[in-house]
Structure 1
Amino acid sequence: MQLQFLGTGAGQPAKGRNVSSLVLKLLDEINEIWMFDCGEGTQRQILETSIKPRKVSKIFITHLHGDHVLGLPGFLSSRAFQSSEEQTDIDIYGPKGIRSFVLSSLKVTGSRLPYRIHFHEFDRQSLGKLMETDKFEVYAEELDHSIFCVGYRVVQKDLEGTLNAEALKAAGLPFGPLFGKVKNGQDVTLEDGTLIVAKDYISEPKKGKVVTILGDTRQTHASVRLALGANILVHESTYGKGDEKIAKSHGHSTNMQAAQVAKEASAKRLLLNHISPRFLTRDCRQLERDAAKVFENVKVVYDLDEVEV
């Protein structure tokens, strides 16, 4: 499971940062890629990565500001040009209005897609658990921005315990169908009367990972709830230390506020995203140093950065 950042800037493209988009690569887990936000130029950023557009099966939109959605029509159209590859449907989750925006854009540009888009629109009354599969759950909660905006909590379900095959062989169990019975939790009796107790040869279930990806927001308790115990918290840092007043007026957060959220949520790692174009590389290093005084395991991310979860 990896996160890759396609755009880490706020508001408008800059020379070193494109606008908001990132992907959660779940290739080993379910052979899919999930995208979160799709700002202008996202399809161009993908060309600098190993991402195959057809592998993007779900897109989660945090809110309808242009720097988070204007890349959608272009990405969806480019995805259709993968004619040599299998065409697969795509699910788009987002606030009410995302369906109208996408379909209107495709209609006026005469774009025809060889796959279906399944829209899942929500409002304040329909938040909570948005989707569930046999391996993952996705939750959403409203944040505090200048328009309706959400954060997402992606929860990997606990992984099954693994079978200790070597120990079973040493105990005298012949390789074959009996191994499958033990793996399924069934006790087995050998010909000599030895009882093989399944639970003694299966490790404890492994705790699934949690990734929290927030949209634009002021500091809010909802961010803490979404990030509780998260392996990674992706939090906007449009502003820096001392900018609390302007951050609040514009519906954003500072690096220090993001660090406080991570600390209160007992997150394991904090990635600062959605960086204002006014911050140069040296300024970003200062953003990290300042935030680290509140929450030590923090990093400012850059376009195309890839982070193991």
Structure 2
Amino acid sequence: MELHFLGTGAGMPSKERNTSAIAMKLLDERGTVWLFDCGEATQHQILHTSIKPRKIEKIFITHLHGDHVFGLPGLLSSRSFLGGEDTLTIYGPTGLKSWIEATLALTGTHLTYPIDYVEAAEGIVFEDEQFIVRAMPLAHVITCYGYRIEQKPLLGELLVEKALALGVPKGPLLGKLKQGHDVVLETGETIYSANVTAPVKEGFVVTILGDTKLCDNAVRLAEGADVVVHEATFDAETAHLAASYGHATNVEAATVAKEAHAKNLILNHISARFLPNDIAKLLQQARAVFPSTYIANDYAQFELRNQEFKHLE
């Protein structure tokens, strides 16, 4: 799994940062990409990456402020031009569906694929055999959600040589054992999957929070997460402004990660008031509270593989 930051700014685009959008690349896990928020010019940002819009399977919208949704109509249209045919599922607050449908209708935009809309609410918004996605409301000036993405436990690797030594023939029975099923040989002997597979591996947990001031639900969503993505619109010196605007500081984001016993924190949604030479100070302030903190710039990539987290250069 990789997180590819397409926009890390706050409120409006700047020379340094575009508006909010994060791609979760699940190419190894399911061959698709999930997008979290889609600010203005997200598709322009995608042009500078290897991401293929037709591979975007799901879009999760945290809230309906323009810097998180104004890129949707263009991206949806371009996905058609670029060969998108598979169903796209869009999750988000009440009103998102009607806004998208009205925009597409008024502009005469025809899509070559169907869209499924899921209205976000507290609880599980998606679940299949691989993942569970939970949503909880945050504390912003309008309805806003955070999402917790949980990968279900992974089956252990099949110990092929051990299975063959126990008399399992090459073929379908090996596949059944790998899938966790016990099998019976022609001799009548039962071979137990647990005896010929490595231990089950825990899946990853990633929490992506929308705009929010410091709140309990942010901590709940981030509990024990491998990676937490949290906004940091303000810093310690401007903390008096944060709550009134429904936003958080870098130090408050670090506090959420610390209280949640998370493993890694990535700060984004950085105000344009902070220039490139301010970033080191922002990071230092946050790391004083939660050492494993990173700040995302546009196009930054982070990888989580086999429980190992790293910032890709």
**What band does the TM-score fall into relative to the shorter chain?**
over 0.9
Equivalent residue for 1:14? 14
The corresponding residue for 1:43 is 43
Q: How far has the Cα of 1:200 moved from its partner?
A: 2.0
Provide the residue aligned with 2:239 in structure 1: 244
Q: The residue matched to 1:287 in structure 2 has which SS?
A: helix
Amino acid at match of 1:90: L
Aligned to 1:155: 150
Partners of 2:242 and 2:248 within 8 A in 1: yes
Q: 1:228 to 1:81 in 2, by over 3 A?
A: same
Quote the residue 2:89 is aligned against. 91
Aligned counterpart, 2:197: 202
Letter in 1 for 2:290: F
Structure 2 unpaired stretches of 5+: 305-313
The one of 217, 222, 225 equivalent to 2:212 is: 217
The count of residues paired between Structure 1 and Structure 2 equals: 303
Worse-superposed segment, 223-232 or 107-116: 107-116
- Offset at residue 171 of structure 1 (A): 4.8
**What do the CA deviations read for 1:213-256 (whole angstroms, capped 9, x no partner)?**
00000000100000011111000000111222100111100000
Cα distance in 1, alignment partners of residues 172 and 70 from structure 2: 54
Decide which moves more: 247-256 or 102-111.
102-111
Secondary structure at 2:254 match in 1: helix
Preserved CA contact (<8 Å) 2:173 2:183: no
Instruction: Give the secondary-structure state (helix, strand or coil) at the position aligned to 1:158.
Output: coil
Query: Partner letter of residue 38 of structure 2?
Result: C
Q: Quick one: structure 1 residues 107 and 263, their matched pair in 2 at CA, closer, same or farther if it must change by over 3 Å? A: same
Structure 1 spans left out of the alignment, 5+ residues: none
- Give the secondary-structure state (helix, strand or coil) at the position aligned to 1:296: coil
Counterpart of 2:308 in structure 1 is none
Is 1:303 the counterpart of 2:301? The answer is: no
TM-score normalized with structure 2 length: 0.92
Distance 1:173 1:101 in 2: 57
**Residues 13, 19 of structure 1: 8 Å contact kept:** yes
Q: Identity of paired residues, percent?
A: 50
In structure 2, relative to structure 1, the CA distance for the partners of 1:66 and 1:194 (3 Å cut) is closer
**Residue 287 of structure 2: aligned partner:** 292
- Structure 1 distance, partners of 2:65, 2:125, is 21
Please state how far the C-alpha of 1:297 moved relative to its aligned partner: 0.6
Contact between 2:182 and 2:190, CA under 8 Å: does it hold in 1?
no
Shift of 1:166: 2.5
- Matches of 2:253 and 2:288, distance apart in 1: 12
Q: What is the DSSP-based 3-state SS (H/G/I as helix, E as strand, rest coil) of the residue aligned with 2:86?
A: coil
- Residue 66 of structure 2 corresponds to which residue in structure 1? 66
Q: How does 1:123-162 map to 2 (within 5 A)?
A: 126-162=121-157
C-alpha contact 2:138 2:145 (8 A) present in aligned 1: yes
TM-score (normalised: structure 1): 0.93
DSSP-derived class of the 2:28 partner: helix
Q: Deviations over 1:93-119 (max 9, x none)?
A: 111110121112112222111211211
Alignment partner of 1:233: what SS?
strand
Q: Does structure 1 residue 33 correspond to structure 2 residue 29? A: no
2:299 is paired with a residue of what secondary structure? coil
Q: Which residue, out of 178, 182, 187, partners 1:186?
A: 182
1:74-97 deviation line (CA, Å, top 9, x unaligned): 111111111xx3522211111111
Q: 1:282: which partner in 2?
A: 277
> Match for residue 307 of structure 2?
none
Letter paired with 1:186: D
Secondary structure (helix, strand or coil) at the match of 2:6 reads: strand
How many angstroms apart in 1 are the aligned matches of 2:66 and 2:11? 8
Q: Letter of the aligned partner of 2:101 in structure 1?
A: L
Q: CA RMSD in A?
A: 1.8
Q: Using a 3 Å threshold, how does the CA distance of structure 1 residues 58 and 176 change in structure 2: closer, same or farther?
A: closer
